C-alpha cells in the first residue's frame, strides 16, 4: 500500500528525510519511520520526535546522517541499548536497529537480539504504534501495517499487536501506556486488551515509580483526564498506584442524609479545570483538593456529614503523597499544598458577607497564586443544579471585583509590613526575640484587618501604641 504522494511530500519531505533516505540507500540498509510519528500523521497531531528503525546497525546509520547534516547537529550514542539520537535544530530523530525481544518474569529489561522489521513490529505495544513507512528510494512511502493499526485508528481502538497477556506481562508499563493513549486520544481499549490489564495489574509492581508517575502525569495532562482515571480504577491499577484517590470513592447515607461520591466529584473538578489550563500542578491541586475527606469524615446528628478541616489535613497529606509517588518535593509541591489548604477560603467568602478584612487576608496568603486559586474554586462547582452553579459563579465575580478593588487600594498581595523586624529592634533597642515578632505581626494584622492603611507613618504610630502596652518606648 502506498500513500498519496502529496501526503508523503507534506510529512516526509525536507532535508532530514532526504538525508536519512540517501544514507540508508548508500549503506544498503532497509529504513523505516515507525511508531508515534507515523501514528500522529494519521491523527493530525503535530510531532517533532521521529523514530527510525533500520534492518542493521541503527547507530551506524545515525552517525552517517549526523555527519551529512553538519552543524548544528548533536549525535548521542547509547551503545548498551543499541540506539542513537540525532538532534538537528528543533527536530529529534531516534535510530535503532530492528530487533526482537524476550523477557524474564521478574524484569522489564528485555533480552535483545537483531531481528527483522516484522520482529520489530511484533514487539510494539499497540497496533497504532506498529505502523511503518519505508524511506528507501525504491519503496519510498510504502506503508506496512501488519496488525490493522489504521483500521484501529479509524475505529478509535487501543489494541495490542499480539496476545495482550504476553504483551503486558513482558512489560507491565504498557498497561499504563494503553490507558494513557486512551485518555489522550479519546480511544476505547479493546475488550480483550482491557481484560488483560485487569488480569496482569499486579505486574505493575516491577515498574519503577519514576516510570509510573511519568505515565500518570501524561494522563493528568490529557484533554479529559477522568477517562484515564476511571480506567485505572476499573482495571484495578488505581488501587495499586494511588490508593489515596481511590479512598474517595463511594457515598454513604445515614438517617436519610447522604454525601456525594468524592471520587467522581474530584474527577469532575479535574475535567473542569483541564478545560481552563494545561498547568500540570494546578491540575494536581484539583486532584488533591478533597484528598483528606475520608480522614476527616464525621457524622453529626445536627449537621449531617462533615469534613471539618479537610483542606488543612489535605495540605499536610500532599507532602507524603508527593514523596511516595516521586513527584518533586520543591516549590511545585508547596504550590499544590497552598492551593489545597486555601481552596475553601473563596467559597466561604461566597457564602458569607464579603468583608474587606477577609479578602485582604486571602490576597495576602494566596499571593501571586490567587488567580490559580480562583480557577480551582470555580472548577470545584460541580452542582447539577444550573441555577446554583450560576449563583456561585456570579458570587465569585463579586469576590474577584472586591479583590481587584482592595489590591489597587491597599497593595496587600505578597506585602511585607512597612516596618521590618530589624527596625523594630533599633527603634526600641531590644534584642531579637518573641517580642519583636509579636510587634511585627500586630502591624501586619492591623493592615489586613483594615485598622490602619498600608503606610509607614500609620504603621509607626500603631507600633508605638502597641509597644507602650509592653512598657516599651522609642529610644530616640
* Residue predicted with more confidence, 398 or 418: 418
Smallest CA-to-CA distance from 322 within 267, 244, 434 is with 244
DSSP-derived secondary structure for 291-311: TTHHHH-EEETTTEEE-TTHH
88 and 28 in a single domain? The answer is yes
pLDDT in tens, 263-294: 999 999 999 999 999 999 999 999 999 999 99
Mean pLDDT taken over the chain = 90
172 and 119 in a single domain? The answer is no
- 250 assigned to some structural domain: no
| Residue 431 belongs to domain spanning | 421-468
Answer whether 462's CB lies under 8 Å from 443's CB.
yes
Smallest CA-to-CA distance from 57 within 34, 24, 17 is with 24
**109 pLDDT above the threshold of 70:** no
- 318 assigned to some structural domain: no
The three three-digit cell numbers of residue 465, written as one number:
501604641
- 393 assigned to some structural domain: no
92 and 146 in a single domain? The answer is yes
Of 9-23, 57-71, 253-267, give the lowest mean pLDDT range. Answer: 9-23
**1 pLDDT above the threshold of 50:** no
65 and 100 in a single domain? The answer is yes
101 and 29 in a single domain? The answer is yes
* Residue predicted with more confidence, 189 or 9: 189
| Domain termination site, one of 107, 123, 154 | 154
pLDDT in tens, 152-204: 999 999 999 999 999 998 899 999 999 999 999 999 999 999 999 999 999 99
73 and 160 in a single domain? The answer is no
Report, as an integer, the average pLDDT of 378-384.
90
Cut 0.85: pTM above it:
yes
* Residue predicted with more confidence, 111 or 75: 75
145 and 163 in a single domain? The answer is no
| Domain termination site, one of 208, 241, 274 | 241
Task: Output the pLDDT for position 413.
Answer: 81
Burial category of 203 from C-beta neighbours within 10 Å (exposed 0-12, middle 13-18, buried 19 and up):
buried
Task: Output the pLDDT for position 341.
Answer: 97
Contacts of 422 (CB under 8 A, 6+ apart): none
Quote the number of domains for the chain: 3
144 and 15 in a single domain? The answer is yes
70 and 112 in a single domain? The answer is yes
Task: Output the pLDDT for position 102.
Answer: 53
19 and 98 in a single domain? The answer is yes
Task: Output the pLDDT for position 450.
Answer: 87
- Residue 84 three-state SS: strand
Residue whose cell numbers read 472586591: 402
Q: Which domain CATH number covers 63?
A: 3.30.460.10
122 and 196 in a single domain? The answer is no
Contacts of 247 (CB under 8 A, 6+ apart): 294
10 and 150 in a single domain? The answer is yes
The three three-digit cell numbers of residue 272, written as one number:
473542569
| Domain termination site, one of 215, 241, 267 | 241
pLDDT in tens, 21-67: 999 999 999 999 999 999 998 888 888 789 999 998 899 999 999 99
Report, as an integer, the average pLDDT of 445-456.
90
CA–CA distance from 364 to each of 145, 342, 438, 456 (Å)? 59, 12, 18, 18
Instruction: End-to-end CA distance of the chain: give it in Å, rounded.
Output: 92
- 224 assigned to some structural domain: yes
Task: Output the pLDDT for position 464.
Answer: 93
Q: Which domain CATH number covers 162?
A: 1.10.110.30
Amino acid at each position: 500500500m502506498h500513500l498519496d504522494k502529496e501526503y508523503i511530500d507534506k510529512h516526509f519531505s525536507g532535508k532530514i528525510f532526504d538525508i536519512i533516505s540517501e544514507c540508508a540507500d548508500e549503506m544498503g540498509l532497509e529504513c523505516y519511520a515507525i511508531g508515534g510519528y507515523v501514528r500522529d500523521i494519521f491523527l493530525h497531531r503535530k510531532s517533532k520526535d521521529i523514530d527510525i528503525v533500520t534492518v542493521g546497525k541503527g547507530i551506524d546509520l545515525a552517525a552517517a546522517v549526523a555527519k551529512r547534516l553538519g552543524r548544528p547537529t548533536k549525535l548521542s550514542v547509547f551503545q548498551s541499548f543499541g540506539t542513537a539520537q540525532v538532534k538537528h535544530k528543533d527536530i529529534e530523530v531516534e535510530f535503532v536497529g530492528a530487533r526482537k525481544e524476550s523477557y524474564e518474569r521478574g524484569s522489564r529489561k528485555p533480552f535483545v537480539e537483531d531481528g527483522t522489521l516484522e520482529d520489530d513490529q511484533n514487539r510494539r505495544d499497540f497496533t497504532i504504534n506498529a505502523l511503518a513507512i519505508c524511506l528507501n528510494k525504491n519503496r519510498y512511502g510504502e506503508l506496512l501495517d501488519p496488525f490493522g493499526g489504521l483500521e484501529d485508528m479509524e475505529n478509535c481502538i487501543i489494541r495490542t499487536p499480539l496476545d495482550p497477556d504476553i504483551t503486558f506481562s513482558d512489560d507491565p508499563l504498557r498497561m499504563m501506556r494503553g490507558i494513557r493513549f486512551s485518555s489522550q486520544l479519546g480511544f476505547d481499549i479493546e475488550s480483550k486488551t482491557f481484560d488483560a490489564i485487569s488480569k496482569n495489574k499486579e505486574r505493575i509492581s516491577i515498574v519503577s515509580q519514576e516510570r509510573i508517575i511519568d505515565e500518570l502525569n501524561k494522563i493528568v495532562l490529557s484533554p479529559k483526564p477522568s477517562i484515564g482515571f476511571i480506567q485505572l480504577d476499573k482495571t484495578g491499577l488505581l488501587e495499586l498506584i494511588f490508593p489515596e484517590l481511590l479512598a474517595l470513592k463511594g457515598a454513604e447515607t445515614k438517617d436519610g442524609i447522604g454525601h456525594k461520591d468524592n471520587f467522581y466529584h474530584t474527577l469532575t473538578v479535574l475535567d473542569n479545570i483541564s478545560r481552563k489550563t494545561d498547568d500540570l500542578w494546578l491540575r494536581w491541586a484539583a486532584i488533591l483538593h478533597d484528598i483528606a475527606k475520608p480522614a476527616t469524615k464525621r457524622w453529626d446528628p445536627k449537621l449531617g456529614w462533615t469534613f471539618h478541616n479537610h483542606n488543612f489535613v489535605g495540605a499536610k497529606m500532599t507532602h507524603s503523597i508527593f514523596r511516595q509517588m516521586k513527584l518533586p518535593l520543591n516549590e511545585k509541591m508547596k504550590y499544590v499544598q497552598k492551593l489545597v489548604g486555601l481552596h475553601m477560603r473563596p467559597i466561604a467568602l461566597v457564602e458569607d458577607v464579603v468583608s474587606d478584612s477577609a479578602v485582604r487576608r486571602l490576597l495576602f496568603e494566596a499571593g501571586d497564586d490567587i488567580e490559580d486559586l480562583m480557577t480551582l474554586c470555580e472548577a470545584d462547582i460541580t452542582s447539577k443544579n444550573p441555577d446554583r452553579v450560576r449563583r456561585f459563579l456570579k458570587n465569585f465575580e463579586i469576590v474577584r471585583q472586591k479583590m481587584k478593588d482592595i489590591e489597587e487600594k491597599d497593595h496587600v498581595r505578597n506585602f511585607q509590613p512597612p516596618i521590618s523586624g530589624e527596625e523594630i529592634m533599633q527603634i526600641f533597642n531590644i534584642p531579637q526575640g518573641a517580642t519583636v515578632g509579636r510587634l511585627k505581626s500586630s502591624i501586619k494584622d492591623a493592615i489586613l484587618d483594615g485598622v490602619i492603611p498600608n503606610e509607614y507613618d500609620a504603621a509607626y504610630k500603631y507600633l508605638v501604641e502597641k509597644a507602650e502596652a509592653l512598657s516599651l518606648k522609642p529610644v530616640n
